[in-house]
Structure 1
Amino acid sequence: MNLARPFSLSVVAITALAFLGLPIGHAMIAGSILYLLLAGLDMGTVAEQLLNGMYANYIILAVPLFVLAAELMNIGSMTERLLRFCNAFVGRFRGGLAFVNIVQAIIFAGMSGSAIADAAGPGKLMQKMMTNDGKYPPSYAAALSAATAVIGPIIPPSIPMVVYALVSDASIGYLFLGGVVPGLLMAGGQMIIVAYHARVCGFPVEPPTPLRQLPRITWQALPSLMMPVVLLGGIYSGVTTPTEAAAVAGAYALLVSVFLYHSVSFADFYRSVLVSARTSASIGMLIGGALVFNYVVTVENIPQSVSALLQTWQLSPTGFLILVNVLLLLLGCVLEGTTILLVIVPVLIPTARALGIDLVHFGVVVVVNIMLGLVTPPYGLLLFIMTRIAEVPFRDLVRNVLPFLWAMIGSLALITFFPGLVLWLPRLLGYQG
């Protein structure tokens, strides 16, 4: 790479600014402006790309709406009621609370679409439940909570899949369906690890919930359990678009918390809106920066150049997917997931399309890779979050999360080599890919 070229200088500037602590979205905008200046192109292109990209894409609106829905769910008592429901059914087994942690992740996956929201809400409560009275080592509970939070954005709805749909034009509805089986595979792998640890480490058995209490616990949790039905039912029945469904999910969470559970004050609601706005603004700036930088990448014909290079390697579709897995797993160690989705993945999509790889299958594989990056050292964002929540040493958390990470990589290998695991459910509901 010629370091004197405008594009090379732009990449160097983005990297340097990011290492100096500037948010990556701002760094990409600054680097893109530098490129346009050096290349003698119209500087107004930056504003044009930002405005067209952010306001012409209706699906982007789903991101802040899903974030708000997750926050509203966490401030009410929906989380506690669902955890009691999960504990009533699987808490009676050895290592029961660990199994509860996995089951709640599957249920909450149908609500928030955000791994970080799941870790900060249900994950925090599970950490407290598992470490109460010294039942589980704090580092083990934190590692399991981080690993189960990964399931959230794979089983629908999924904020990363919304972002992938933005850059690939793949169907959001079919992407959501494609994530169901992989998410359940990952949960199954985690349950196998927990069952082994429960037997070897002698994890405690929780007192079984009396059968006469199950109807009452189920009834109390039923409004919360209906949220995925409302959300996904609206999408797949054709009544709502994914963006409209995200708005419905937020409204449903608020109505249930306020009028049925009476667990949200105006101050709680204000704080949740404020947190959601801050989170959405940071994501929006990252998307905006990526849209501007992707214009630079397009001007330089980088996707076509990469596609031509990979074609000279004569890779098969399977070989290309293996290469993508290795690349994204390595990048996930050091880069934030949304950055990978918005900057790296668009460069790979033309090659995937040329090799005949289904873009729904490719999208699910990409999202699973990016979610694994959240629990992959040294950067893993969920590892840092759970370290703060649990107040445990980072090295202890990493040691305990590795078995779960290997199990999830095994699930990734299965969906890579057997696309039918991803495409079975979408095809069952009409997908022609």
Structure 2
Amino acid sequence: MEVLLFGAFTLLAILGLPIAIVLGLSSVIGLVLGSDVPLTIVAQRMFTAASSFPLMAIPFFMIAGALMEGGGISKRLIHLANTLMGATTGGLALVAILTCMFFAAISGSGPATVAAIGSIMIPAMVKAGYDVAFSSAIMAAAGSIGIIIPPSIPMVTYGVVGGVSIGSMFLAGFVPGIIFGGVLMAVAYFISKKRGYKGTGQFSFKELFIAFKDAFWAILMPVIILGGIYGGIFTPTEAACIAVFYGLFVGFFIYRELNFRDLGRLLVNSAVSTSIVMLIIATASVFGWILASEQIPDRVAQMFLDFSNNPIMLLLLINVLLLVAGCFMETNAIIIILAPIFLPLIIQMGIDPIHFGIIIVVNTAIGQVTPPLGVNLFVACGISKITLESISKAVIPFIVAMIVALILITYVPSVVMYLPNLLMK
């Protein structure tokens, strides 16, 4: 069965089919040729996976992010970041990264963050004399923070698959997200200093106050949503619904930049994005069910233990595998397929499943900027109109910095677990 399953998966992936189709077809091929299980199980497993109550948070967080983007949030967050960092060497590059960190607390998606902020910041950086490939690489790398700082759609997926608290996952993502932003800023600063990219203007507390006041309603959204989750007022799914109503209120009545014509377009775009993610989750659940029924996770765990029972070495091997997978597979598919395979091993080694969940999410965040399937790269290329080859070269220093951050997050568990242990007792 495993030969049929992974053989079909590899062949279909090489043919360039969408990952959801690859997962679904390889599952069907494995069942038809390698078992007597009726194919009705495919529809049943897909329906069961997609009808999960916690997964309802995904479409609502996508809609909320689209509403906040269309409601004028992006430019206000950029203005706030510019008043904080704009006067520094490489100011616009640092502003782009800081704004992505702000927007990550709203969108929960890497590509959405790149699209929302990059459409403004890439042209601004190019106009200021920044290299177009460098500008695009910054946006692609910084956009990956969108799935690390909560609320995060992949964290919701992992919470469902791994049976862990989504609220704890959200808490665990804060510090790693800040670390990612910090290392990307450091790289951007040194490259900017080497190339002579100057800051613009001077820092002003008065301007900062005005920018903060203007962006207040945007900043308040994650405070309300995450505060409500950690305060036990509502669940992550209910929080996602509240985020939608908050986005509608701010867009229509506070910033007044939303109208019913824009609303229709935003809802359609969100529905398309949601359908893609949910189809991947549904087909990946069938693939994962076959793996579990064939006891492949147990055999993989034993294989790793036979190779080495040293947690440091095992985590290194898992990270390498996840980084390679991120080059070829979509974020949610990686989580649904690989998390159940490695969780028994992780628990056996005494590693907290929350910590491991952040390791997976961080690896998939790096995967969003590694070719050939780095989705953030394609979004940034679409904005700047450059080739994948150009942006792939420019993003290498940022990928190296992200891997350094990954090593820190992997081998210093307190970086991840401090907030969950402090606030979720």
Counterpart of 2:44, as a letter, is E
Secondary structure at 2:101 match in 1: helix
- Looking at structure 2, the residues matched to 270 and 72 of structure 1 have their Cα atoms a distance apart, in angstroms, of 11
Confirm whether residue 287 of structure 1 aligns to residue 281 of structure 2.
Answer: yes
**Counterpart in the other structure of 1:142:** 136
**Counterpart in the other structure of 1:373:** 367
Q: Deviations over 1:222-262 (max 9, x none)?
A: 11111110111111111111111111112111210111111
- Looking at structure 1, the residues matched to 220 and 181 of structure 2 have their Cα atoms a distance apart, in angstroms, of 21
Q: Deviations over 1:123-150 (max 9, x none)?
A: 2211122122x42111111111111111
Pick the aligned partner of 2:191 from 191, 197, 212: 197
Counterpart of 1:31, as a letter, is S
Pick the aligned partner of 1:112 from 107, 112, 132: 107
Confirm whether residue 71 of structure 1 aligns to residue 66 of structure 2.
Answer: yes
Secondary structure at 1:179 match in 2: helix
- Looking at structure 1, the residues matched to 9 and 89 of structure 2 have their Cα atoms a distance apart, in angstroms, of 50
**Counterpart in the other structure of 1:272:** 266
Counterpart of 1:178, as a letter, is A
**Counterpart in the other structure of 1:243:** 237
**Counterpart in the other structure of 2:163:** 169
Moved more, 113-122 or 25-34: 25-34
Secondary structure at 2:164 match in 1: coil
| Count of aligned pairs between the two proteins | 424
Give how far 1:68 is off.
0.9
For the 8 Å contact 2:57–2:156, the answer to whether it is kept is yes
Pick the aligned partner of 1:80 from 75, 79, 84: 75
For the 8 Å contact 2:168–2:424, the answer to whether it is kept is no
Moved more, 335-344 or 82-91: 335-344
**Runs (5+) with no aligned partner, structure 2:** none
Confirm whether residue 40 of structure 1 aligns to residue 43 of structure 2.
Answer: no
Change (3 A) 1:186 1:213: closer
TM-score by length of 1: 0.94
RMSD: 1.6
Moved more, 94-103 or 209-218: 209-218
Counterpart of 1:225, as a letter, is I
Q: Deviations over 1:185-234 (max 9, x none)?
A: 11111121122122211112211265433333221111111111011111
- Looking at structure 2, the residues matched to 185 and 35 of structure 1 have their Cα atoms a distance apart, in angstroms, of 42
Counterpart of 1:305, as a letter, is R
**Counterpart in the other structure of 1:180:** 174
Counterpart of 1:61, as a letter, is M
For the 8 Å contact 2:118–2:383, the answer to whether it is kept is no
For the 8 Å contact 2:19–2:330, the answer to whether it is kept is no
**Runs (5+) with no aligned partner, structure 1:** 1-5
For the 8 Å contact 2:86–2:95, the answer to whether it is kept is yes
Moved more, 352-361 or 197-206: 197-206
Pick the aligned partner of 1:60 from 45, 55, 58: 55
Give runs of aligned pairs for residues 17-28 of structure 1, distance below 5 A.
17-28=12-23
Pick the aligned partner of 1:342 from 325, 332, 336: 336
Give how far 1:365 is off.
0.7
For the 8 Å contact 1:91–1:206, the answer to whether it is kept is yes
**Counterpart in the other structure of 2:11:** 16
Secondary structure at 1:377 match in 2: coil
For the 8 Å contact 1:186–1:408, the answer to whether it is kept is yes
Give runs of aligned pairs for residues 256-405 of structure 1, distance below 5 A.
256-405=250-399
Moved more, 179-188 or 28-37: 28-37
Aligned-pair identity (%): 37
Secondary structure at 1:208 match in 2: coil
**Counterpart in the other structure of 1:411:** 405
Q: Deviations over 1:22-64 (max 9, x none)?
A: 3222332233233333311222211221222222x21111111
